[in-house]
Amino acid sequence: MARDCFRNSTKLEDMHAADQIDDQEMQALMIDVVDRCSDFLMELCSPQGAEIIEDLKIGQPLAKAPVPLARRAAFSMVSVT
């Protein structure tokens, strides 16, 4: 999904080829995109999935942008003092 809908886009590839995005930035961007795609697919497969699809059909934005699961794990390991 990330590759087909985002990574292989002409605009992004043009920016990467023109050195507007270096390899490290591209890697970080793609990791974030894949994490978010994974979370979104998990949400669609959840009990609320049908409601999310109906909201998207009428152009209703998602309630909030969730923190990707990979980031949630990292946040939960950080000690708050």
Of 1-10, 13-22, 44-53, the least confident:
1-10
Given a cut of 50, whether residue 67 has pLDDT beyond it is yes
CB 33 within 8 A of CB 2: yes
pTM for the model stands at 0.63
Rounded CA separation 77/29 (Å): 22
Q: C-alpha dihedral over 61, 64, 65, 67, to 10 degrees?
A: -160
What mean pLDDT is predicted for residues 18-43? Answer: 88
The pLDDT value recorded for residue 79 is 45
Chain-centre distance of CA 53, in angstroms? 17
Distance in angstroms (rounded) separating the CA atoms of residues 52 and 48: 6
Distance CA 13, CA 6 (A): 10
Residue 4 has pLDDT above 60, yes or no: yes
What number is the average pLDDT over the span 45-51?
89
